Structure formats: C-alpha cells, structure tokens
Amino acid sequence: MTDRVAIIGAGAWGTALALAFARAGRAVTLWGRDAARMQAMANSRTCGEILPGIALEPGIRPVSALAELAAHPLIVMAVPTQALWTMARQLRGEVAPTAIILSAAKGIERETGYFVTESMADALGPHRFGVLSGPSFAADVARGLPTAIVLALAEAETAERIAQALSGPGFRVYHSTDIRGVEIGGAAKNVLAIAAGIVAGMGLGESARAAMIARGFAELRRFAASHGARPETLMGLSGLGDLVLTASSPQSRNYALGLALGAGKPLAAANPSGKLAEGAFTAAILADMAARRQVEMPIVTAVARVLAGAISVPDAVRELMSRPLRAE
C-alpha cells in the first residue's frame, strides 16, 4: 500500500518530500496546479527555481491533473494550512475512499480553529488522516542531508509500516499515534520562532533567546496538555526538536519575520520576499484558543498582539519582562 505516494503541492516542501520518498524507493506523483511549470519539471527533470540545482529523482512524475491521483493509497498534502481545506475539498471524488491522507502543514486554521487533520476531515469526509511534522528545512531534505521527522496516525501498525516505507538514505521517519500532540508542536513552534527572531533582531543576546525558547516551550507543553497530548511527544522531534531548529535559524521564515520586526521594520516591510510564515496566521487563533481554555501563553499572546498592531515590539518585551516572578 506504500509503493505509490501522491504529493499535493509542488512548492519547496512538497518537492523536497517527493525527492526523499523517491530515494526511499517509492513511486511518487507530484501534483502542482501550474500545468506549464509541471510540464517543464517533467521535461527538464529538475526542480526548477524553487530548489535550484537539484535534479528530480527518476521515480518522481510531475502532473497537474487531479485525476492522476485516483489510484494512490497514500496522499500527502503539502499545502499551507490556510489553503488546506480548499485543496482537500477539490479532492472529493478524486482519491480512493481507502486512501490514507497526511498533512505536511504546520498551523491552525485561523477562521475555524481546526487543526490540520480536522480541516481535512471536514473537507473530505471519512478517510484515515494523519500528519507529518518535525525539524526539517526543504533545502536540507532536497540535498539529502540527514533529517528526521515524525508521522502520526491513529493506527500504530499502519503508522509504523508507512514510516518504514518512507524512510531512506539520510531521511528517517519516526512514528506516533499522538496526532494532536504532533499537530500542536508544529503549529505552536512557528509562533514561538517569531518571538525568538524578535529577541535576536532587537540584539537582546543569546541568553535572552535561550530563556525565550525555554519559557515558550513551557507554554507549548501547557497548551498541548490541555488537548490531551502526551508529554513525550512534545519532548521529541515534532515539539522540542522543531522548536530548536525553527527558533535558531534565519532559514526559518518565521524566525526571519521576527528578526525583521525586532530590527524595527513595520510588519508590511518585514517579509519583502513574500514567502509564507505560517506563524503569522497561527498566532491570533492560538492565543484565542489558549485563552478559552484558560492556558497561560504570554509569549504567544505578545506575538499575536504585535502582529495585530496592538502593541509595539519594545512594549511587548517590557511587558513580558515585568511579569510577576513565579516557580518554574
């Protein structure tokens, strides 16, 4: 059931996953909506401008017709969280009812508060849904550099079988049944990475950034616990691992956004490349969900207020530093 994999979304991350799965011996159908671009990839056997200098593996077949997905037992949705429901809705009637569908997005749908598996279930109806997450940059995966991620699915044996099938040289896939914990780790770390970037952009030093990551991780764990997530999930790749990566490298779009904000750039000018920073969409809904569950998330709330223009970056830092001292 795992010999053939379809990936929806031919951006950098979807293409990088296609490369990793093909190197693991899978036959991969890579779907993108731009027919001309997909044909160009097929003709040139390269990844094009999204991953310059990277050749397509022989096992990858670029397509632009959804009908090409019908026979695939495993579908990976590599599209942004805020576009996930719309894309999943288009798959109704195009994929087999027995297909397992995984999301590779990291976020929370801001209009509904849906986690990614909830969004796909609402759009597609009955299927088996799961999630791929963990510390990974598309460029690293595309180049074959050592990377480890997590696949979460409700059925433990199926999760293990798929994880083994997708693992290959330099790309390890661990498995879990804690879907919600993996989803929350991937979503919350993006918001916290913006905060880490702000600290660095303001020149507050490595000690401050380390403290922010540690206290932010405490917020992430509290929120996850309120949703029944397992503590060991958050201590693993999809929680602490992904937070450490995303909150420490300018390769992270969320960290880069925070760097710009911390350096004094207005939000409109903080992301001149236009590349998606998922945390900017997740911050407000995450802060709202935490408040409704009475979970303290002061760092997440501060990021949400900065992004909404409700408070300046320096004032947000001052507020956080003046909070009452407490036991850790």
Query: What are the catalytic residues?
Result: 189
Token pair listed for 312: 């300046």
Token pair listed for 306: 């900065």
198's CB contacts (< 8 A; 6+ apart) are: 258, 259, 261, 262, 303, 306, 313, 316, 317
- Alpha-carbon distance of 264 to 12, in angstroms, equals 29
> In b/e form, how buried is each residue of 143-160, taking b as 16+ CB within 10 angstroms?
ebeebbbbbbbeeeebbb
> In b/e form, how buried is each residue of 70-106, taking b as 16+ CB within 10 angstroms?
eebbbbbbbbbbbebbebbeebeebbeeebbbbbbbb
Distances (CA, A) of 292 to 118, 226, 230, 262, 276: 19, 11, 21, 29, 27
